Each structure stands twice: as C-alpha cells, then as structure tokens.
Amino acid sequence: MPRPLFATIHLDSMQHNLAQARSCAPYARIWAVVKANAYGHGLERAMRGFATADGLALIEVDYAVRLRESGWIKPLLLLEGFFDASDVPLLAEHNINTAVHCIEQVKMLEYTQLYRPIDVHLKMNTGMNRLGFQPGEYAAAYARLRAIPGIRNITHMTHFANADELEHPRLTIADQVRRFQHGADGLPGERSLSNSGGVLHQSDLGDSLSNDWVRPGIMLYGGTPGGRSAQDFGLLPTMTLRSEIIGMQEIVAGDTVGYGSRFEASGPMTVGVVACGYADGYPRHAPHGTPVVVDGVRTTLVGRVSMDMMTVDLTPVRNARVGSKVTLWGDGLPIDEVAQSAGTIGYELMCALAGRVRVQEGPMGSDG
C-alpha cells in the first residue's frame, strides 16, 4: 500500500471561485493566473477547472506552449514577458500575449522580425517597484512599441502592492490608480489593473477602478491575499491535503516530543504521528498550536515537524486510532489559517507541495 498521504484537487471549487471572480468584476474579462504550475494544482487540471476563463496567465514560455499543445485555444499571457530574444518567435507561432516591462524587452522586439503580429501588455510601475516603466517614462515606451510593425494591440497594465489593505498607510490602491491614470493619460488601449485583492474589493472601490481585464490568482484557489477570510468572499478550497495517523504514544507531564525536545507535556496526553513532513511540503517552521483536523475534530500540532512525519495532540479526539483521518489543510481547514499559524501565506503552502505527494481529483466533502 502506498504511504497514506495525498492531495485532492477540487475542480468544482475552481469553477466556483472563477464564477465568484466574475461576480466581483462583471464587466471585465478574466485572465485566470496559472503560474507556478497553477499554484501547485497542475496546469492540465487548471485548464479544465478554468475552462470558462477568457484567458490563462503564467510565467514560463515553455509552459504556455505546453498549454497550446494540450488544446488551450483562448488567449495566453506571459506575466513577466519573455527572457530572451529567441523566445519572441514562439510568441508569434503560438499566439501568446506578452508583458513588456523594461526597455531591454522593447529593444528585443524592435530587432526581431515577426512573421505574425503579437499583442503586448505594457507594464507601468505605480509603486510596487518590482517590474514596469515609471509613469513619466511610460508614454515614450508606448510610442516605441506602437512603431514596431509586428505589434498589434497594446494593453496597459499595472500591479497593486497592497490590494488586501484598502487604506494602507504607505501606498493605497487609489494612489496607484492615480499614478496609472497619469502615466497612461491619452493613450488608447485596454486596461488591466486588478489582481485578486483588487477583484475582491471591486465593490468597495467602485467606478474608480476600471478594468477591461482582471488577473485573479490566489482567490481562484480558495485563498486571499490577506485581510478578510476566503469564506467571507464565498470562496472554496481547491486543494485538500490529507493523511492518516500511523502511530500513537501516551505521555505524561514532563515528557517531550520531537527533535530538540521543544514541546513539553504539561500533563497526560495522547500524541499521534502523522505521515507528512517538510519533505512533502508542510512547513518545518510551523509551531505548536498550528491547527490540524483528526477524524473531524480540530486539534493542534505539537513538537517540531520532521522530514517525513509530524506529531499532533490526540487528547481531544475520542476513539483516535492508527488509521484515523487527518486533514492538514483544505476542506474543513482553511489553508490561510494554517499558513497564518506558520507565519507564511497560503500561496507558499500550495506551491511547495512536493512531487512525492500523490495527487488526485475529487469533489468537496470527499475523502478522495
């Protein structure tokens, strides 16, 4: 029998979350973001889960080609653009949209003969200070792109730094929108501003946030970028990580658990050993108290996470036994809650899922 650890991907939840994104931004088309192997869910699964999206957005040129070869015929967008001039012909061959965020990319497009026109998304740096042209440089970059014969449509794009916090003390969405409007003033073309945070807060921002395209990522996978919970927005988990209890120990006050003996029992307790560790993608730095669900009962992690195992408090779980079902995140235990306890974000947990974990598909509420 294989090790009792598996991740279940819920395609029905992916479809549901995409519908929620549409309801938040009903007048915009949607780029479903599938970077990082669809946040650990698998590109081919994402292609099915987000089949009704208007396009898919990702990072890697080769993965975009793979989506085309797998049968995706709608638009594709490279969020970081291309990394070498040799990639440009592939964009034309496979009809792939590309971001353009620096003058070096503009030059590569100027010096590459395109046998078929391509669409580009010109990125403005409105305060994220990661990629993009400064607002004062933006119009000149646009003019150079517009002069290239092989460039068809130019979409104006930016990325919000603090979309999860509308009144951020340093940089708000409104601040970034004002900079964007100033830099793109008078330039024709569609607009693409909102990531998940912007989409989720669309109703709060109203007409001040006008998108032709939105780019939801984490919300499509049942997480949020921060602030309110996924449940508050009607989002469902798309990945459930489950295991089983494979061993039990009865300990007394003063006994310690795990490497470093960092957890000390304050009284009699039952400790269960779960077949999952940091080599599977569970965060090693998750502290005592990180939530776990065993046989439907919420309990906590105790001791340090090992490479292949972790230990949990079974004291509150009646009739716990070897073989008891364990939910580490997902259906019944929000991944954002686990991530917050571990001092990280749900994105990292999804993306860190190790290749040795068996992955299957199944509906919500199923043990797979």
Helix axes 135-146, 103-110, angle to 10 degrees: 10
Candidate list 27, 107, 111, 259, residue with the active-site label: 259
What amino acid is encoded at 206 in this protein?
G
259 has catalytic annotation: yes
- Residue 39 annotated as catalytic: no
Q: Looking at 27, 35, 39, 278, which residue is catalytic?
A: 35
Residues designated catalytic: 35, 259
